[in-house]
Structure 1
Amino acid sequence: MQLIWLRSDLRLHDNTALSAAAGRGPCVAVYLLSPQQWLEHDDAACKVDFWLRNLAVLSHSLGELNIPLLIRTATHWHQAPQVLLELCQQLQIEAVHVNEEYGVNETARDAAVAEALEAKNIGWHSYLDQLFFKPGSVLTKTGTYFQVFSQFRKVCYERLHRSLPGQVPAPAPQTALDIESDKVPAQIEGFEAPGEHLRSFWPAGEAEARRRLDAFVDAQIDYYKSERDFPAKPGTSQLSAYLAAGVISPRQCLHAALQSNQGEFESGKVGAVTWINELLWREFYKHILVGYPRVSRHRAFRPETEALAWRDAPEELLAWQEARTGLPIIDAAMRQLLETGWMHNRLRMVVAMFLTKNLLIDWREGERFFMRHLIDGDLAANNGGWQWSSSTGTDSAPYFRIFNPLSQSEKFDTEGLFIKQWVPELNGLNKKEVHNPADLGGLFGVADYPSPIVNLSTSRQRALAAFKNLPSRQDAGGGHA
């Protein structure tokens, strides 16, 4: 009998390890609940809830194929080898199948499980699944991992031209086993269940992920490049949470985008090309995680920036976290995060630069806060984005490029629609005033809206001075803007 150990791959279709396990004979699935590990990784309560809801849908789909889903607890990943070994011995499992995961803890966990199983002559098979290319296979001419996205993308394009990663078939129904599926818990202690309002933004299941992908590719992808930066418009795919939990695969996304663009990823429709580019950014940051393990350990990608004199400003940090900065676009974005578990990508950059540059607060504070609230929280993408914004990462924004939240607001939320949706106390202001109520002065200001917690121009100068004082500064061009 074969065992498929599900992790961040909660789907039936195009699931490499599941397809391989089912192809070898009767198969059982297992999912490990690891609440202590999730807390250590700052996984958001809404994200844990989303996984469980998707797991329940998947359990039903697997049940229709007579594949039982077992739930076991390994509170911490250190316990995974023991828990899985006992299960394998109990069910007389021949081999365990997994899709590769990345990050130092994930890699150590899988190595320990593989060692424990192989010592008892139980097979261990791991597959490339959440990426197009295996980390370590896309390298510079000198054999190192890329540090600049545009160069990485160029090699990816060459590889994709030669061979596109294909999709794998879903398992066929198998003969019923005498094993009952376990009930998927509705909630895990230590993770507060989100309200129905948040859940309604993120229905669970592959059918919903596919529906979003199809709707995006049919109606929206052509406008993606021109509309993706406008938070009041439905310009993005809203698939990030489904990709992070593996409810849909990057291959499914790539094939759908290519189909809409006559098989092209470098030419043709600019919207499709731009969106495929975003899939490659996701890929790039996961390769960085493997090639430069320090980013998994809360270290800056650019070591010289570890010397930055970050400010200890707990009250300003709290105002940022609680959406009380007095800058409407920042507060609107933070409220979107707190209420929906998601934030528009352009705004992720704007609020991250505000925290790390205008407030000069360590990017790790922001990275942690995002992980604790994001339904699509993903170590590689979240770390990559925060380090890009704070000029400590790969391809990072040159330290002197500091987004001004007011000009970003006027440019990308011109009518103030996004601001008014999330900061309704500003509804009485016109589209010019809504970006900066402080300009109105106390007399005509908005009574229940705070004044800005920082002066944008003096705080910008303070950030520039802090970066200029670094011992050995290397300016990096390009970036994920």
Structure 2
Amino acid sequence: MRQLMWLRSDLRTQDNTALHAAMGAGPTIALYLISPQQWLEHDDAPCKVDFWLRNLVELRQRLAELNVPLLIRRAPHWRDAPQVIAELCRQHAIDCVQVNEEYGLHESRRDREVAASLEPLGVRLRSHLDQLFFPPGSVLTKSGSYFQVYSQFRKICYQRLHTALPALVGLPAPQAPLGIASDEVPAAVDGFATPSDSLRQLWPAGEDAAQERLALFAEERLAYYQDSRDYPIVPGTSQQSTYLAAGVISPRQCLHAALRGNQGEFDSGNPGAVSWINELLWREFYKHILVGYPRVSRHRAFRPETEALPWRDAPQDLLAWQQGRTGIPIIDAAMRQLLATGWMHNRLRMVVAMFLTKNLMIDWREGERFFMRHLIDGDLAANNGGWQWSASTGTDAAPYFRIFNPISQSQKFDADGRFIRTWLPELVGLNKRDIHDPSAMGGLFGLADYPRPIVDLAHSRERVLQAFRSLPPLEPAHV
């Protein structure tokens, strides 16, 4: 019973459910599809595509140690996948294609179409739960619907974890050699520029790198995570989101690492461990939302009434935000961090998102798209969930009247201005008071190379509050 392990966002050999199942069922060949047209349509960042390719190089070696050949095929668009996979199954006499489930609208359609194309060949597509703790549809309200409030969702997850902690899947034993050569992994894909060496060095590829980073965090930083996670200059976060998005590490591995550091507890004990597990469950929540409310995959607001918000068409303001030249130092420093590293600190993601949607009153979809085009850890569910939370259009979103003041956020979480100075060298000479709001100094202090704010924070706050207050009530059909 020859198996085909179709790799997607699960680029690892350890704790890989589908790989373990495939190798347990018979001789296994691994496959990865290069799909540049689909990636462009999904706004995948060049640095993210490069990260996938670099991890495939590492994974190819890990699979070789298991005598599993890795085949690379081109399916420019996901609609090409059924034909490519069917041909491969005929060529190698495959009996079953094993996959780990993915949850976007297009991903689900792709898998259905592949399964349909394999059925006439007598080949089964078998899918596995891997990137979540609980299957979507298994954590529901008493009325049988998907949760819309995170705290209620988390409560049920806690109850389940007490009785059914997801177990790690062991590394399969090497199989007998198949006499099939692995393909070379391309160094680049047309349409996706290779990022700088400095960016690549920030995100080393491979399971070993991910595990080393997780171990360092669990041993040295997890206990202090709750206190340090909001300060962008402090290395207080796990920086596992990049590895989770590509599946180089699994949520189960992260959960078990946290539990080891907290005597097996996930909802009590060390506040840092509890807080980090909470973030893993937020990630879970947004993927369940993706399945339960597919409109969020269609660029629609979770709260239908907010589609009536009069977003501004302000291309110059949008460009200033994208380029990190809004005149608000913490915003500009965060955006420049994103452009240079492919990553942004989570606290700053909320701050810049609220600034774009609330102060500039620009459609959250513009920010969601820009982030996906630049984030090395871009993930549809988490990115959409975060942007709709900030814009007050999403599930369990920030109340529309809760608007971060970016200057206050800067003073609180970058009090000495160290993060700002790292990314805005033109402000390096300012003291820790003036660096948060240079415009308050007046125009006589030689800051000609730094712009004045493109928006008045107080006025813009009132503007967006009035827009939300003026929304028509939700029609009964949508309640």
Relative to the length of structure 2, the TM-score reads: 0.98
Q: Take 1:95 and 1:299, find their aligned partners in 2: how far apart are those partners?
A: 36
* Local SS of the residue matching 1:442: coil
Say which is worse superposed, 113-122 or 234-243, in terms of deviation.
113-122
Matches within 5 A, 1:40-189: 40-189=41-190
Answer yes or no: is 1:227 the counterpart of 2:247: no
Q: Take 2:48 and 2:208, find their aligned partners in 1: how far apart are those partners?
A: 19
Match of residue 478 from structure 1: none
Q: CA deviation at 1:473?
A: 6.6
* Local SS of the residue matching 1:457: helix
Tell me the alpha carbon deviations over residues 28-71 of structure 1, each in whole angstroms, 9 at most, x when there is no partner: 00000000000000000000000000011000111121100000
Match of residue 252 from structure 1: 253
Tell me the alpha carbon deviations over residues 387-421 of structure 1, each in whole angstroms, 9 at most, x when there is no partner: 00000001111101100000000000000000000
* Local SS of the residue matching 1:119: helix
Q: CA deviation at 1:440?
A: 1.0
Match of residue 338 from structure 2: 337
Tell me the alpha carbon deviations over residues 195-245 of structure 1, each in whole angstroms, 9 at most, x when there is no partner: 101001000000000001000000000110011000010010011000000
Matches within 5 A, 1:385-400: 385-400=386-401
Answer yes or no: is 1:403 the counterpart of 2:404: yes
Does structure 1 conserve the Cα–Cα contact (< 8 Å) formed by 2:388 and 2:397?
Answer: yes
Matches within 5 A, 1:316-327: 316-327=317-328
Tell me the alpha carbon deviations over residues 401-447 of structure 1, each in whole angstroms, 9 at most, x when there is no partner: 10000000000000000000011110100000000011111111512
Q: Take 2:373 and 2:172, find their aligned partners in 1: how far apart are those partners?
A: 35
* Local SS of the residue matching 2:98: strand
Q: Take 1:234 and 1:406, find their aligned partners in 2: how far apart are those partners?
A: 22
Match of residue 18 from structure 2: 17
Does structure 2 conserve the Cα–Cα contact (< 8 Å) formed by 1:437 and 1:445?
Answer: no
Letter in structure 2 aligned against 1:182: D
Q: Take 2:193 and 2:472, find their aligned partners in 1: how far apart are those partners?
A: 44
Q: Take 1:132 and 1:206, find their aligned partners in 2: how far apart are those partners?
A: 20
Match of residue 349 from structure 1: 350
Letter in structure 2 aligned against 1:107: S
Say which is worse superposed, 463-472 or 369-378, in terms of deviation.
463-472
Relative to the length of structure 1, the TM-score reads: 0.98
Say which is worse superposed, 442-451 or 158-167, in terms of deviation.
442-451
Answer yes or no: is 1:8 the counterpart of 2:9: yes
Match of residue 454 from structure 1: 455
Tell me the alpha carbon deviations over residues 167-198 of structure 1, each in whole angstroms, 9 at most, x when there is no partner: 11112111111211000001000000001010
Tell me the alpha carbon deviations over residues 438-476 of structure 1, each in whole angstroms, 9 at most, x when there is no partner: 1111111512110000000001010101111100279xx
Q: CA deviation at 1:24?
A: 1.1
Q: Take 2:447 and 2:234, find their aligned partners in 1: how far apart are those partners?
A: 26
Say which is worse superposed, 445-454 or 158-167, in terms of deviation.
445-454
Match of residue 477 from structure 1: none
Does structure 1 conserve the Cα–Cα contact (< 8 Å) formed by 2:304 and 2:474?
Answer: no
* Local SS of the residue matching 1:39: helix
Match of residue 281 from structure 2: 280
Letter in structure 1 aligned against 2:339: L
Gaps of 5+ in 2: none
Does structure 1 conserve the Cα–Cα contact (< 8 Å) formed by 2:6 and 2:99?
Answer: yes
Q: Take 1:62 and 1:396, find their aligned partners in 2: how far apart are those partners?
A: 42
* Local SS of the residue matching 1:98: strand
Tell me the alpha carbon deviations over residues 311-357 of structure 1, each in whole angstroms, 9 at most, x when there is no partner: 00000000000000000000000000000000000000000000000
Gaps of 5+ in 1: 475-481
Q: Take 1:470 and 1:136, find their aligned partners in 2: how far apart are those partners?
A: 32
* Local SS of the residue matching 1:443: coil
Tell me the alpha carbon deviations over residues 362-411 of structure 1, each in whole angstroms, 9 at most, x when there is no partner: 00000000000000000000000000000000111110110000000000
Match of residue 426 from structure 2: 425
Q: Could you say what the CA RMSD is over the residues aligned between the two structures, in angstroms?
A: 0.8
Q: Take 1:460 and 1:436, find their aligned partners in 2: how far apart are those partners?
A: 17
Letter in structure 2 aligned against 1:309: P
* Local SS of the residue matching 2:99: strand
Q: Take 1:376 and 1:321, find their aligned partners in 2: how far apart are those partners?
A: 18
Runs of 4+ in 1 over 3 A off after TM superposition: none
Q: Take 2:400 and 2:446, find their aligned partners in 1: how far apart are those partners?
A: 34
Q: Take 2:26 and 2:459, find their aligned partners in 1: how far apart are those partners?
A: 67
Q: CA deviation at 1:13?
A: 0.1
Q: Take 2:115 and 2:134, find their aligned partners in 1: how far apart are those partners?
A: 22
Match of residue 308 from structure 1: 309
Match of residue 36 from structure 2: 35
Letter in structure 2 aligned against 1:125: R
* Local SS of the residue matching 1:212: helix
* Local SS of the residue matching 2:172: coil
Q: Take 2:440 and 2:125, find their aligned partners in 1: how far apart are those partners?
A: 64
Q: Take 2:34 and 2:467, find their aligned partners in 1: how far apart are those partners?
A: 43
* Local SS of the residue matching 2:183: coil
Does structure 1 conserve the Cα–Cα contact (< 8 Å) formed by 2:266 and 2:277?
Answer: yes
Letter in structure 2 aligned against 1:285: Y
Q: Take 1:238 and 1:171, find their aligned partners in 2: how far apart are those partners?
A: 27
* Local SS of the residue matching 1:444: coil
Q: Take 1:300 and 1:188, find their aligned partners in 2: how far apart are those partners?
A: 33
Does structure 1 conserve the Cα–Cα contact (< 8 Å) formed by 2:302 and 2:393?
Answer: yes
Letter in structure 1 aligned against 2:71: L
Does structure 2 conserve the Cα–Cα contact (< 8 Å) formed by 1:19 and 1:170?
Answer: yes
- Percent of residue pairs bearing the same amino acid type: 71
Answer yes or no: is 1:434 the counterpart of 2:439: no
Letter in structure 1 aligned against 2:388: Q
Letter in structure 1 aligned against 2:86: L
Q: Take 2:473 and 2:256, find their aligned partners in 1: how far apart are those partners?
A: 44
Does structure 2 conserve the Cα–Cα contact (< 8 Å) formed by 1:336 and 1:343?
Answer: yes
* Local SS of the residue matching 2:185: coil
Q: Take 1:429 and 1:16, find their aligned partners in 2: how far apart are those partners?
A: 53
* Local SS of the residue matching 2:73: strand
Would you say how many aligned residue pairs link Structure 1 and Structure 2? 474
